[in-house]
Amino acid sequence: MLRALTAVAVTATLATGHPAAAETALFLPEPTGRYAVGAKSLYLKDLSRADPWVGGPRELMLTLRYPAWTTGTRRAKYMTADESRLLLAGIPGVPPEILTTVRTNSFTDALPAPGRRPLVVLSPGYTKTRATLSTLSEELASAGYIVATVDHTYENTGMSFPDGRVATCASCDVPHDRAFWLKLEAGRAADVSFVLDELTRRYPMIDRNRIAMGGHSVGGISTIRAMLADRRIRAGIDIDGGSHEDKPTAELDRPFMFLGSEGSGPEQNTGWVNEWQRMTSWKRWLLVDGTRHASFTDVGLLGEQLGLAGGGPLPADRTAVITRAYVRAFYDLHLRGVPQPLLDEPSTQYPEVRFCTA
């Protein structure tokens, strides 16, 4: 969990004599693709659908990253001051706006490279902002993908709108039973369909025939719900997101990959077993030894820069290398048709990755 791990990371840093957060330069690793990365924040309002948590039109914020010719001069902010303060609230000794200082590799004044591009939509975990998937988003954009990372309003600790309003976690006050999670997943599927409508209408550089999705935690399992609801999504990835369906009945007939922490094997994760058995197309179930739930997001990387393990025995920067390699390979295979031997069998380059079946 981002907030919990951040709290542990910073307080342990202060207690053990490591450099204090205020003295540490936080940064995202440079992407490995051939393109520079441009970024644009977008505000969307769905007048046809009521917000599931507070009523009124559903409002969303997203970051659109894209391949660019060259880097610009205005580096994109990682997070607003309000978002940082809300995420870090209640953690003693932590500069509340420290996350505004994270150095990204995206530029708000970078000109898009020409050509029609595949689109990947990314959905973060519950209570997490879209910023926590920035490393993965930048990697995919540098490889030539357009990437839309979505903030699901009232489902994170805090999110800023362009007019200065800040939406906090209204859904956090709702009892978190099974019905809650199923409602949340269905709402995220509706969010993504609306985002696809808007992006394909506004941006002709998006190839409508090459769209995929992925996410972390509940954003990952919501990818299955979105694919079942919207056939425009050709392939999907769930990064360590557990299923809340007791007995899923709908068959998923498009490519899918589970990428999980070391405790997400078939013996422990019956939810994934149930989902796996309803998948009738290409599928993979991969586990990364030495990882924990938060290892796959930016919080692991930022924690490591503060002198901490970042959520698991495997160093967070190594987890980022593995995550980017396998996620990119999946999309290259299923959106570009480029063969990916990495996805066929275990690799000596990534011995931490295990292939599972159920």
Looking at the predicted structure, is the pLDDT value of residue 241 above 90? yes
Looking at the predicted structure, is the pLDDT value of residue 11 above 90? no
pLDDT in tens, 273-332: 999 999 999 999 999 999 999 899 998 887 677 665 556 899 989 999 999 999 999 999
Looking at the predicted structure, is the pLDDT value of residue 20 above 70? no
Q: Residues near 150 by Cβ (< 8 Å), separated by ≥ 6?
A: 60, 61, 62, 121, 122, 123, 124, 130, 191, 192, 195
Helix residue spans in 235-305 (DSSP H)? 270-276, 298-305
CATH number for the segment(s) 2-356: 3.40.50.1820
pLDDT in tens, 27-37: 999 999 999 99
Please return the burial class of 315, using the count of CB atoms within 10 Å of its CB with bins 0-12, 13-18 and 19+: middle
**Distance of alpha carbon 335 from alpha carbon 55, whole angstroms:** 36
- Dihedral class, residue 337 (left if φ above 0, else alpha if ψ from -120 to 50, else beta): left
Looking at the predicted structure, is the pLDDT value of residue 1 above 80? no
Looking at the predicted structure, is the pLDDT value of residue 12 above 50? no
Looking at the predicted structure, is the pLDDT value of residue 19 above 60? no
* Confidence band of 172 (pLDDT split at 50, 70, 90): very high
Give, in degrees to the nearest 5, the angle at Cα 223 between 290 and 194: 140
* Confidence band of 24 (pLDDT split at 50, 70, 90): low
Helix (H) or strand (E) holding 91: none
How do the domains of the chain map onto residue ranges? 2-356
pLDDT in tens, 121-170: 999 999 999 999 999 999 999 999 999 999 999 999 999 999 999 999 99
Looking at the predicted structure, is the pLDDT value of residue 356 above 80? yes
> The tokens of 342 are what?
């990495």
Average confidence (pLDDT) over 241-269: 93
Looking at the predicted structure, is the pLDDT value of residue 194 above 60? yes
Is 0.85 surpassed by the pTM of this model? yes
**Distance of alpha carbon 75 from alpha carbon 81, whole angstroms:** 16
Could you tell me where the beta strands, DSSP code E, fall in the chain? 36-50, 57-68, 106-107, 117-123, 146-151, 158-160, 166-168, 206-216, 235-239, 256-261, 283-288, 353-356
pLDDT of amino acid 248: 82
**Distance of alpha carbon 256 from alpha carbon 282, whole angstroms:** 7
Average confidence (pLDDT) over 163-188: 97
Q: What is the DSSP letter of 122?
A: E
Mean pLDDT lowest among 160-174, 227-241, 243-257, 333-347: 243-257
* Confidence band of 200 (pLDDT split at 50, 70, 90): very high
Looking at the predicted structure, is the pLDDT value of residue 5 above 70? no
pLDDT of amino acid 306: 62
- By the 8 A CB rule, do 115 and 332 touch? no
Helix residue spans in 70-154 (DSSP H)? 81-87, 134-142
Average confidence (pLDDT) over 103-130: 97
Average confidence (pLDDT) over 239-252: 91
